[in-house]
Amino acid sequence: MMNYLRLHHDYMLSKTFITIILILMMVIQLNTLYASQILEGYGHLDAFRESFQEDYLNDVFMVMEYIFVFIGILTAISLSNKNNQALMVYTVTSKKDKWLFIIGRIILGIMFLLAVWISQICAVYAFTSGFTPYTIYLKDYFEVAIYLILEMIQYYLITLMLMVIVSTVLIGIVPLLIFWLLEISLHSLSIELQKLLTIFVININGYGIKQINLLIFIIIYIFFTINYIMVLLLKDCC
Amino acid sequence: MIIMKSNTINISIRDLTKTYQRSVGIQNITTDLKSGQLNLITGKNGSGKTTFIKCLMHHVRYQGKVTKRRYRIGYAPENYIMPDFMPVYDFLVSIGRIKHLYQEHLHLELDEYLNMFQIKHKLHKPIRTLSNGMKQKVNITQALLNNPKIIILDEPLVGLDFKSQKKLVKKIIELSKKKLVIITTHFPEKFNTSRKIIHEFEAGKLL
């Protein structure tokens, strides 16, 4: 399994992919800097510190959410495009190999997303605690942050599943559209529909702890993952 | 009493059929492929040679039975889609790792094949910068890594210059003495050996 993880790792970390990810991570950090109002000094904050703090965390989490979702989709596209699929031809000589190849791909993607998430969440936390007068409660912060990674993995898995059905990079637009539509219209839907949607879709909308039944969410996405593996196992390699 | 242990590597194929959505790739193929002989698969374009190979490799779903022991297999596909951005060396190392071939042994083996194909100077160049023939050489090199017991090469002579073709044919004939070698080709006459067995395909059937 380790060899398959390294194979996908070698494949995925191309210069272009890394450059895009680094730029996106820089945008998160620049946005954090800007939203903190560090450029204006913090003298004017005293009377309104709490409301500024709320706005700051909302802004930071909103931008992180957009970028994380984009990274999730991009990672899935990168790991399941035609070239990566072709690697299967060189490395698969039995059904067991095919199984390991697919599992390796899913796991490596999730490991990469976790690494991005940990680095950004820690960087934002360190900056906020060290350089701004805002107070972050660690428990609340990580509770919301966990929904960010779940949202990122959710769009990663959705994109992987769509890529297996329609093998074109352009299919990445569909999860982006789903995300965008939910982002702008979730709160204008009826309460019943909102409740129904939030069973299987995580949409964090800024810094606020959501009541989501994680068990149902995890069961649904494990089911999706098993389906993805089964479809790829049954599908011809090339 | 001395029990002789057979060293023959064998792939047994029974009633192998592969159907695509609108056509039949191959139908009812029954044959045995053995080591010690050079198995050449020939036939016109679209006769089912590559489909047959894909079935042997479990790359496609099929009906029928393919029985082989779990030996190391080296496979060079006809359509070599390799990750373009990767340097040749990185690609070969990645494939070597999957075949449990690690750095020190890899270098020894690479030296042999890179010298044979004269592509040593391209080792650290990205695959996209290679010509078609060079890519074919890399494709064949990865198949031969870690001394596989079964070697399956799909149209290995395509894209190679005359000199490289000669070297490769000589190497294939040498390998076929001890290993199970299966080659698809339009030029069986180029493999000048008395141990060659020609399996001819026509319209998805083995003649």
Digit-coded pLDDT (tens) for A118-161? 999 999 999 888 888 888 888 888 888 888 898 899 899 989 88
Give the per-residue pLDDT at B178.
86
Rounded distance between C-alpha atoms, residue B43 and residue B40, angstroms? 10
CATH code, domain carrying B16? 3.40.50.300
For B62, name the nearest residue in chain A, comparing CA atoms only: A236
User: Cβ of B58 and A95 within 8 Å?
Assistant: yes
* Residues β-bridged to residue B26: B18
Show Cβ contacts of residue B132 under 8 Å, excluding neighbours closer than 6 positions. Answer: B159
Question: Which residues of chain A have a Cβ shorter than 8 Å from any chain B Cβ?
Answer: 3-4, 6-7, 10-11, 14-16, 82-84, 86-95, 98, 234, 236-238
Give the per-residue pLDDT at B103.
73
Continuous segment of H or E residues that includes residue B15: strand B10-19
Rounded distance between C-alpha atoms, residue A149 and residue A110, angstroms? 10
Give the per-residue pLDDT at A134.
82
Residue A190 identity (one-letter amino acid)? S
Rounded distance between C-alpha atoms, residue B172 and residue B167, angstroms? 9
- Tracing tokens 């047994």 back to the chain, one arrives at B12
User: Cβ of B57 and A93 within 8 Å?
Assistant: yes
Please give the tally of structural domains in chain A: 1
Listed as ranges, residues in chain A with pLDDT below 50 are none
CA dihedral B13, B19, B24, B28 (to 10 degrees): 20
Q: Which of A64, A75, A79 is nearest to A30 (CA)?
A: A64
For B140, name the nearest residue in chain A, comparing CA atoms only: A90
Chain A residues touching B100 at Cβ < 8 A:
3
- Contact between B35 and B2 under an 8 Å Cβ cutoff? The reply is no
- Provide the whole-model pTM: 0.80
User: Cβ of B83 and A83 within 8 Å?
Assistant: yes
Residue B59 vs residues A18, A23, A95, A232, A234: alpha-carbon distances, Å:
31, 38, 9, 11, 10
- Contact between A103 and A144 under an 8 Å Cβ cutoff? The reply is no
Rounded distance between C-alpha atoms, residue A146 and residue A207, angstroms? 12
The answer to whether position B141 is within a domain reads no
Closest partner CB to A14 (pick from B75, B81, B85): B85
Helix axes B132-144, B162-175, angle to 10 degrees: 10
Length of chain A: 238
Please give the tally of structural domains in chain B: 1
- Contact between A92 and A102 under an 8 Å Cβ cutoff? The reply is no
Q: Which of B38, B83, B37, B19 is nearest to B183 (CA)?
A: B38
Chain A residues touching B103 at Cβ < 8 A:
none
Listed as ranges, residues in chain B with pLDDT below 50 are 1-4
The residue segments making up the domain with residue B32 are: 1-71+150-156+180-207
Show Cβ contacts of residue A62 under 8 Å, excluding neighbours closer than 6 positions. Answer: A205, A206
Give the per-residue pLDDT at A120.
93
Buried b / exposed e over A87-104, threshold 16 CB at 10 Å, is bbbbbbbeeebbebbbeb
Chain B residues touching A98 at Cβ < 8 A:
58
Residue A195 vs residues A42, A151, A180, A191, B93: alpha-carbon distances, Å:
40, 17, 18, 6, 50
Length of chain B: 207
For B50, name the nearest residue in chain A, comparing CA atoms only: A238
The residue segments making up the domain with residue A165 are: 2-234
Give the per-residue pLDDT at B3.
46
Rounded distance between C-alpha atoms, residue B37 and residue B178, angstroms? 8
The answer to whether position B18 is within a domain reads yes
CA dihedral A132, A135, A140, A142 (to 10 degrees): 30
- The burial of A156, by beta-carbon neighbours within 10 Å (0-12 exposed, 13-18 middle, 19 or more buried), is given as buried
Give the per-residue pLDDT at B4.
47
Give the per-residue pLDDT at A21.
93
Give the per-residue pLDDT at A210.
65
Q: To the nearest whole angstrom, how far is the Cα of B57 from the nearest Cα of chain A?
A: 5
Three-class SS state of A111: helix
- Contact between A36 and A134 under an 8 Å Cβ cutoff? The reply is yes
Rounded distance between C-alpha atoms, residue B179 and residue B172, angstroms? 10
ipTM over cut 0.90:
no
